[in-house]
């Protein structure tokens, strides 16, 4: 990958889009992971107002520490960067008490609450974006957004722009190194941070990002019969998740009404 060309292209793309949209810049949720680290840095490099928000919800201290280490690093390098923390734990606890049902009757409750965390963060980003004249900048990569749908619909998938959605996770790490992000961000183990227990992306998915990328690049040209061993296992994981995520990946379906029915 021609890393510097990609970086320059992304920065200019973000700047041009904001100018055309007549907004001041971008707001980004910073999680302490590499995706938000790269995106927030690219936004800062536009020279436009860049608001970074760390939004803990029952968050692990190491995730909070990484997020602030990165945000403070960007603030020291870019005068257009502002950073803040919005503690969403009290708001989530109120929702938890309101929504809570019996787990044995609703086995998907824990997943629903994980997605609720993400949607609460989306609401927060749009609030601060609107009062500051900023667009919400997404942090999803190509595997998550268009491969296996590993994001929350109307949560971290609810954004105005998605600058790195055409980059594989390994390419995002390449950008992180080229951008000289703080070491803890570059080495952070991918996790969505939506669960009360430590659950890495690999543990949830059952495959690593490099494994998934290999399948995604070949998907549609090969079938399960073309693979064996671990590659076949990962293909089946990717295939199952990709098919289940079509309601996320494709535009919202609209039921067309025949024109002749509109006339009496």
pLDDT tens digits along 65-88: 999 999 999 999 999 999 999 999
pTM of the model: 0.92
pLDDT of residue 196 exceeding 80, the answer is no
Structure token digits, residue 154: 């109307």
**Are the C-beta atoms of residues 174 and 1 closer than 8 Å to each other?**
yes
Q: Write down the residue that tokens 């803040």 correspond to.
A: 84
pLDDT of residue 63 exceeding 90, the answer is no
Q: What is the mean pLDDT of residues 206-214?
A: 95
Give the count of beta carbons closer than 10 Å to the beta carbon of residue 2.
8
Quote the CA–CA distance of 14 and 214 in Å, as a whole number.
28
pLDDT value, residue 191: 80
Quote the CA–CA distance of 263 and 259 in Å, as a whole number.
7
Q: What is the pLDDT of residues 7-23, one digit of tens each?
A: 999 999 999 999 999 99
Which among 176, 163, 190, 186 is positioned nearest to 26, based on CA atoms?
A: 163
pLDDT of residue 115 exceeding 80, the answer is yes
pLDDT of residue 189 exceeding 90, the answer is no
How would residue 194 be classed by pLDDT, with cut points 50, 70 and 90? confident
How would residue 96 be classed by pLDDT, with cut points 50, 70 and 90? very high
Give the count of beta carbons closer than 10 Å to the beta carbon of residue 175.
24
Which of 56-65, 146-155, 186-195 bottoms out in mean pLDDT, i.e. has the lowest? 186-195
pLDDT of residue 244 exceeding 90, the answer is yes
Q: What is the pLDDT of residues 154-187, one digit of tens each?
A: 999 999 999 999 999 999 999 999 999 999 999 8
pLDDT of residue 104 exceeding 90, the answer is no
Mean pLDDT of the chain: 94
């Amino acid at each position: 990958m021609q890393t510097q060309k990609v970086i320059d292209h992304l920065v200019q793309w973000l700047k041009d889009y904001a100018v055309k949209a007549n907004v001041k810049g971008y707001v980004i949720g910073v999680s302490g992971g590499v995706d938000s680290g790269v995106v927030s840095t690219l936004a800062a490099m536009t020279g436009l107002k860049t608001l970074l928000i760390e939004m803990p919800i029952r968050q692990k201290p190491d995730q909070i520490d990484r997020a602030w280490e990165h945000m403070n690093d960007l603030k020291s390098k870019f005068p257009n960067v502002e950073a803040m923390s919005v503690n969403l734990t009290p708001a989530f606890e109120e929702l938890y008490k309101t929504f809570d049902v019996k787990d044995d009757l609703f086995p998907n409750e824990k997943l629903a609450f994980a997605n609720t965390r993400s949607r609460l963060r989306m609401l927060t980003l749009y609030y601060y974006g609107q009062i500051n004249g900023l667009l919400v900048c997404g942090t999803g990569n190509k595997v998550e957004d268009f491969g296996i749908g590993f994001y929350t619909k109307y949560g971290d998938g609810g954004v105005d722009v998605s600058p790195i959605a055409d980059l594989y996770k390994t390419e995002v790490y390449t950008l992180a190194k080229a951008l000289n992000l703080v070491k803890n961000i570059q080495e952070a183990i991918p996790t969505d941070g939506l669960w009360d227990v430590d659950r890495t992306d690999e543990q949830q998915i059952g495959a690593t990002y490099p494994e998934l990328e290999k399948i995604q690049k070949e998907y549609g040209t090969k079938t399960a019969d073309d693979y064996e061993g671990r590659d076949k296992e990962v293909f089946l994981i990717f295939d199952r998740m990709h098919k289940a995520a079509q309601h996320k990946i494709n535009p919202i379906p609209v039921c067309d009404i025949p024109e002749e029915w509109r006339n009496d």
